[in-house]
Structure 1
Amino acid sequence: MADKFDTAVKIVQELPKDGPVQPSTDDKLDFYGLYKFATVGAVNVPKPGLFDPAGKAKWNAWSAVATKQDMSTEKAKTEYVEKLIAILKANESEDSKALLAQLE
């Protein structure tokens, strides 16, 4: 699973901002929370303040993953990959098919 996770992370990080595959803001936050939990574990930094809404949203996404009862770093990696696969399958572009082939 680690190889698939690493490939999925690379794909998400390299998605062009104007490309055919565009995860929603909520999807991006989900990816962030799953990634942080998979690579760092439970939240280990204080919650950002009022003047950092983006940081606060990211912290909340990470915290939401960390508070799931049955969450483990391996499960977070699996969910990250599954989420990306679902997004790519929902998009019928040639780009998404090529990216999907990298994961399967």
Structure 2
Amino acid sequence: MSQDLFKTAADEFAALVQSGKVSNEDQLKAYGWYKQATVGDVSTTRPSVLFVKETAKWDAWNERKGTSQADSKEEYIKYVNELKEKYK
């Protein structure tokens, strides 16, 4: 899989988010795949529940724990393509 495909998917996702059409749930799922693809398993402690946004993002990332970065990139690209169809 090409790094170019991943970067293209990231750019396309950013454009979708800017359109204002993408739900928070879909954004969180994409965030989880993106972080797992670029960083790997989450290595920080879970934020306090008082920080709702940060906790949701951490949870979305942690759900992908154990998935390889290569597999996560493929899943991210696939998910962005699904979102492009959903929000066209």
Q: Is the pair's TM-score, using the shorter chain for normalization, greater than 0.5?
A: yes
State the AA in 1 paired with 2:79: K
Partner residue in 1 for 2:82: 86
1-side partners of 2:71 and 2:61: how far apart? 14
> Which blocks of at least 5 consecutive residues in structure 2 are unaligned?
none
> Which blocks of at least 5 consecutive residues in structure 1 are unaligned?
93-104
Shift of 1:91: 3.7
Partner residue in 2 for 1:37: 36
TM-score by length of 1: 0.74
Taking every aligned residue pair, what percent have the same amino acid on both sides? 32
TM-score by length of 2: 0.86
* Structure number with bigger Rg: 1
1-side partners of 2:59 and 2:78: how far apart? 21
Aligned residues: 87
State the AA in 2 paired with 1:44: S
Shift of 1:9: 0.9
